């Protein structure tokens, strides 16, 4: 990802978190929000959403911070247009692909990213290999 990029999540976060959370428990419980549209301000406000090609994601967003599997990529340092998501530390974007297109986008906190990574790392690669 370009360091000069300004990233904005466009009015597309669901208002409910996976689990309720108090400020004291911010990093102990996984929290995540579905993202309907991601807008990259540094690229002329190009929308990225379900159905966007993997090649477009890679070209516009760069390499992921972490590739958990061939079809699950993590990008860090995102800010939502929903204050609650920001307050809960949800700054990791999880991009899930199916058939080389975005199937799902979520904004999660550190604990949520850790749980997603751990659950996928324990599966055999052939279980989550994409059909290309």
C-alpha to C-alpha distance for 75 and 95, rounded to whole angstroms: 8
pLDDT at 79: 87
- 24 three-state secondary structure: helix
Q: Which long-range contacts (CB under 8 A, 24 or more apart) does 44-48 make?
A: 45/8, 47/10, 48/102, 48/105
Beta-strand ranges (E) seen in the chain are 7-13, 32-40, 46-49, 66-69, 72-75, 92-98, 101-108
pLDDT at 27: 59
Q: Which two tokens stand for residue 69?
A: 């599997």
Residue 23 in this model has a pLDDT that exceeds 70 = no
pLDDT at 4: 30
Per-domain boundaries in the chain: 7-13+32-128
Share of the chain above pLDDT 70, in %: 70
pLDDT in tens, 46-66: 789 999 999 999 999 999 999
């Amino acid at each position: 990802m370009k360091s000069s990029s300004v990233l904005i999540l466009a009015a597309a976060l669901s208002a409910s978190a996976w689990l309720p959370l108090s400020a004291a428990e911010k990093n102990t419980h996984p929290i995540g929000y579905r993202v309907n549209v991601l807008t990259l301000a540094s690229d002329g406000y190009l929308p990225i959403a379900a159905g966007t090609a993997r090649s477009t994601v890679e070209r516009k967003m760069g390499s992921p911070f972490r590739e958990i599997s061939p079809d699950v990529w993590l990008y860090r340092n995102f800010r939502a247009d929903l204050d609650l998501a920001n307050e809960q530390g949800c700054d990791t974007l999880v991009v899930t692909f199916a058939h080389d297109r975005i199937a799902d986008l979520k904004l999660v906190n550190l604990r949520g990213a850790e749980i997603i990574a751990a659950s996928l790392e324990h599966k055999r690669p052939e279980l989550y290999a994409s059909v290309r």
